[in-house]
Structure 1
């Protein structure tokens, strides 16, 4: 009996010892974080929610996605923060995005009408200057050929707009908004723009009817003129979107522009003439001599001039075919032509 009693005591001691070891093991697992797995295993919904939230945060902040540009697929940030838009800053500004640089060319200047307060990037200079600005995405238009695209791609992921969208500012805006991950913003900008164009077109057609319009650029250095055709990416919008009637020579042109002599201008039979210098402004000292041409006897005898229908426009936005520039052109035309 005593022997049986001793066995019971030892059994009880062993049970207590094993219980203590089990408790100790549980505490060690908790210290190692394994209790989290246990809790999630007991609550599958909590585990699922935790995983989804983490995935969403990572995607929003650090994720990438693949898009297809003119030169193939490129992996870009889901939410780019530092964007360089080579020749496309106009679209970035319209979408509420401030670029890290603004392109600049020593001979052409920059798009002054945007009034961007960012460093200039000389596109004829070293690519190192762009690298220093640390962009996380570069967007380029048709000015970037395959070689230039490769250069930009060494700086940051580069999306070169497809050739098929370059002729239409609306398609370019949509493509850029998609790449930036803000398609809904692009839709809103376009809706506002389309409404403005519809209203402006009605007013212009009522004021001008079928009167013929010519767009001419004064090439200051050469003292020549360029007639812009209906396919010109800068000014074709006034015909295909705003509804103005081109002079016959411009309507028949397949090229973007044609260099013409001063003597050809009367043959255009233009009821209205839009003119701007190729560089600088109307009050720029370097342009003073060339601008005197417009005060010569040939110009004074043009019906458009006699009727007060010659319009001296500012070069900066008239030599851009982007969405903000086009909106500004419409403002100019309404102010000049609708009385």
Structure 2
């Protein structure tokens, strides 16, 4: 059978499967830039869930498979996957030295530019045939894939959907992904390097800031509002629970991941340091200029943090990711602007 014929048959299968899912009323919701955030499970339980239960199903080296357990049950995967698609988790693949066959993007959200991947893009809002064409032998995805989307990915290749219990901790996610790829030793080495970097950075930040309070705020360009990120936020909670910074009281008391606040609330935060980034685009993007002008207004100019030079405009791409590479880049940013 020709490659073209194979792709045509797969396309028909996918169309029929998607139609069946739609008829059952399944909500095929894609994850946005804020990601799906899971409740934080206990360290031991999460660690247990992070390590896939494996069994060898094929004794030959070439084509050998094993079974691991993901969020939606057992899946048989290659022992040595060669062509991996990491939907929403390319950051971890890069950290582990694995180049994915595609990088996900969405027409409205863009992609994770900070990874600088030179691979084809896969529009997660479009046709699955674009992913089929890249012939992955393993697909790994996080909480951005619900049960319906998982079934669609599984028609392309064996799909490992990470357990909910690991999604709140980038270290557990890295361990689970390394195990699924059959390179647990590499995962351990990456984590050891990361932990050492965090320990060194934390000591420097605490010496420089002490108990000075920090606020992380996203500028929502379209409606000119602000989102205060709480201590449980998957993207920036790492600043507090790993890097040792002190959150402003409002962020410390938040049970939700973020809270929309007006500009007038900013002074009430009593922040000694303010980290801010736009929800989309770059600081110099033409569409953002009017909203960014808010930061030059009289209210902001009178904030103690601004007067003291302690407002930091960060690049949104890695600050709106909670993955291991992004967290390392955040730490580098903080050391650069906060440690004199």
| Secondary structure of residue in 1 paired with 2:234 | coil
Name the CA distance, whole Å, in 2 between partners of 1:263 and 1:57: 63
Give the Å deviation of 1:222.
Answer: 1.1
1:295-310 maps to which residues of 2 (within 5 A)? Answer: 295-310=296-311
Distance 2:79 2:167 in 1: 23
Assess if the C-alpha contact under 8 Å between 2:57 and 2:67 holds in 1.
no
Instruction: Answer whether contact 1:200 1:330 (CA < 8 A) is retained.
Output: yes
Offset at 1:58? 5.6
Q: Aligned residue for 2:258? A: 257
Counterparts of 1:130 and 1:256, CA distance in 2: 32
Larger Rg: 1
1:336 and 2:333 correspond: no
1:149-164 map, 5 Å: 149-164=150-165
Q: Which structure: greater helix fraction?
A: 1
- Matched position secondary structure for 1:73: strand
Matches within 5 A, 1:121-270: 121-270=122-271
Alpha-carbon separation, structure 1, partners of 2:57 and 2:285? 54
Looking at structure 1, the residues matched to 335 and 70 of structure 2 have their Cα atoms a distance apart, in angstroms, of 37
Give matches, 1:62-101, under 5 Å. Answer: 62-101=63-102
Counterpart CA distance in 2 for 1:149 and 1:116 is 24
Following TM superposition, by how much is the alpha carbon of 1:127 offset from its aligned partner in structure 2, in angstroms? 1.1
The alpha carbon displacement at 1:128 in A equals 1.2
TM-score by length of 1: 0.83
Q: 2:115 aligned with 1:114, yes or no? A: yes
Per-residue deviation at 1:219? 0.6
User: What TM-score, normalized to structure 2?
Assistant: 0.83
> Does 1:61 pair with 2:48?
no
Quote the offset at 1:59 in angstroms: 3.5
Tell me if the contact between 2:318 and 2:326 (Cα under 8 Å) persists in the aligned partners: yes
The answer to whether the 8 Å contact 2:58/2:65 transfers is no
Q: The residue matched to 2:185 in structure 1 has which SS? A: helix
- Superposed CA offset, 1:173-227 (max 9, x none): 0000000000000000000000000000000000000000000000111111000
Q: Distance in 2 between matches of 1:172 and 1:179?
A: 11
Shift of 1:107: 1.4
User: Are the equivalent residues in 2 in contact too, given 1:59–1:78 (CA < 8 A)?
Assistant: no
| Offset from partner CA, 1:84-115 (integer Å, 9 cap, x none) | 00000000000000000001011111110000
SS of the residue aligned with 2:280? Answer: coil
Change (3 A) 1:254 1:57: closer
Structure 1: unaligned runs, 5 residues or longer? 1-54
How many correspondences in the alignment? Answer: 285
Give the direction of change, closer, same or farther, for the CA distance of 1:233–1:56 in structure 2 (3 Å limit).
closer
Match of 2:328 in 1: 327
> Structure 1 CA distance, aligned partners of 2:62 and 2:113?
33
SS of equivalent residue, structure 1 residue 230: coil
Deviations 1:115-140 (A, max 9, x none): 00000111111111111111000000
Deviation at 1:233, TM superposition (A): 0.5
